[in-house]
């Protein structure tokens, strides 16, 4: 086993990031495997890839025996290969901006950010193209989903990597996404606050809304830029937290999945006609503090399929950049938040079939009369006062509980004559009928 002491400049760094800084030849897949099997120890205890290290801690890792694995991905035992001419050209073409501290690239859709099981083409594997002779290997400081395109920040040095990582974890970095969604949200400028958790049985590959204590807080602001009738909407998304698949899950949860997102929207996430079936989610803009005191503000052009879809739906790409407002979050008791949460909750209930049946629905043959609370509600709706608890059937309104029913019964003695019938009372102003005159019968 190799043993290291965490340096002060590695304080509060994730374990996988520590490997990127100090042992870049070890792939993320290998680090994950070592962590799962308990081969990595921090102060003698097992550690996960997301464990944050503290300066002065003792770190033990497996020995560096045999050939070094491919950095950033690949299966164990493979030596890092030199980049091909095609890879070098790709690495050069996707650069948007670079300086001594950072490289900003426009990640194309379909290219993974990091490697994993069966993933050999990824951004992390291209970072050697940006390292000069004797310079440290550049490091990723955040990620984008494989099918999401747009702005991706890469740090050139360990110091700038730590600086940018703190800005992302401190929520001071501003990230703007563009997306095409199915339908049009009722509220054109809203905040979605739905906690997320990993969906069981998916190996952590899929997220879900979880409003129990297991859900992690997640906040997303959306603004409708334009709409194509009721068919689709072009929206701007701003995540205020960084949960996995947050934007995709949130938009699907309010009934407007991102176009092309079959994972969370199913077959209802695809537009008919010639609109591309690829995911229409693009990291349009990143605004973050720079280590040298400036402000790094970069915008990434759209990929071809997204740009073509906007044109086919009648949208103008140049009109999509809305003013970047201050990150003022919606107050908990505002109308916008209540309406957005109610809309999302109602949609989920409809999807699960958990809507309650209406009390005043059409009666069915043989249906039982409502009892208890439902009987009181039904009686009040019909304009009748509900009977008090404990009252017997037939009791007069206002009678005390336990009183006898307001009915009158008589018992005739054996052999007694029947009581004479009483004459009906005369109406005022009427005369009694006189004797019949003998006339025609």
- What amino acid positions are annotated as catalytic residues? 145
- Evaluate whether 33 touches 76 at the Cβ level (below 8 Å): yes
Q: What is the distance between the terminal CA atoms of the chain, rounded to a whole angstrom?
A: 131
Considering only CA atoms, which of 95, 175, 110 is closest in space to residue 149?
110
Question: Whole-angstrom Cα distance, residue 210 to residue 194?
Answer: 8
Distance CA 133, CA 135 (A): 6
Neighbours of 96 (CB within 10 A): 16
- Going by the DSSP 8-state scheme, the letter that residue 130 receives in this structure is G
Residue 266, CA distances (Å) to 238, 271, 358, 408 in order: 24, 12, 30, 70
CA distance linking residue 176 with residue 322, whole number of Å: 10
Distance (Å, whole) CA 272 – CA 31:
43
In this structure, how many other beta carbons lie within 10 angstroms of the beta carbon of residue 435?
Answer: 5
């Amino acid at each position: 086993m190799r043993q290291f002491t965490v340096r002060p400049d590695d304080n509060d760094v994730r374990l996988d990031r520590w490997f990127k800084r100090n042992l870049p030849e070890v792939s993320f897949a290998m680090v994950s495997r070592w962590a799962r099997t308990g081969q990595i120890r921090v102060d003698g205890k097992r550690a996960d890839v997301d464990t944050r290290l503290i300066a002065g801690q003792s770190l033990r890792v497996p020995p560096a025996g045999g050939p070094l694995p491919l950095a950033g991905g690949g299966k164990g035992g493979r030596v890092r290969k030199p980049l091909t001419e095609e890879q070098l050209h790709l690495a050069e073409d996707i650069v948007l901006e670079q300086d001594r501290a950072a490289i900003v690239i426009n990640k194309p859709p379909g290219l993974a950010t990091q490697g994993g099981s069966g993933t050999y083409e990824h951004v992390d594997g291209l970072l050697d193209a940006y390292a000069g002779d004797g310079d440290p290997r550049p490091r990723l400081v955040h990620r984008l989903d494989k099918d999401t395109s747009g702005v991706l920040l890469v740090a050139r040095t360990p110091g700038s990597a730590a600086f940018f990582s703190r800005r992302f974890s401190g929520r001071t970095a501003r990230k703007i996404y563009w997306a095409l969604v199915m339908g049009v949200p009722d509220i054109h400028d809203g905040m979605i606050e739905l906690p997320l958790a990993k969906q069981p049985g998916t190996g952590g590959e899929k997220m879900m809304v979880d409003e129990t204590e297991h859900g992690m807080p997640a906040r997303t602001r959306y603004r409708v830029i334009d709409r194509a009738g009721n068919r689709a909407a072009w929206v701007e998304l701003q995540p205020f937290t960084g949960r996995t698949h947050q934007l995709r899950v949130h938009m699907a949860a309010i009934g407007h999945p991102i176009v092309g997102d079959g994972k969370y929207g199913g077959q209802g996430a695809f537009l008919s006609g010639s609109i591309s079936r690829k995911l229409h989610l693009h990291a349009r803009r990143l605004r973050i503090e720079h280590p040298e005191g400036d402000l790094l503000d970069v915008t990434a052009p759209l990929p071809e399929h997204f740009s073509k879809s906007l044109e086919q739906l009648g949208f103008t790409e140049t009109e999509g950049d809305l003013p970047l407002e201050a990150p003022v979050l919606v107050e908990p008791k505002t109308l916008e938040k209540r309406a957005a949460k109610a809309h999302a909750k109602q949609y989920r209930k409809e999807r699960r079939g958990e809507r309650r049946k209406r009390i005043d629905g059409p009666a069915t043959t043989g249906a039982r009369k409502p009892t208890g609370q439902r009987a009181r509600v039904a009686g009040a709706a019909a304009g009748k006062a509900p009977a008090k608890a404990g009252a017997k059937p037939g009791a007069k309104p206002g009678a005390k509980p336990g009183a006898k029913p307001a009915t009158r019964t008589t018992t005739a003695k054996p052999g007694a004559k029947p009581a004479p019938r009483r004459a009906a009372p005369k109406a005022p102003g009427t005369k009694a009928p006189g004797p019949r005159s003998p006339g025609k019968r």
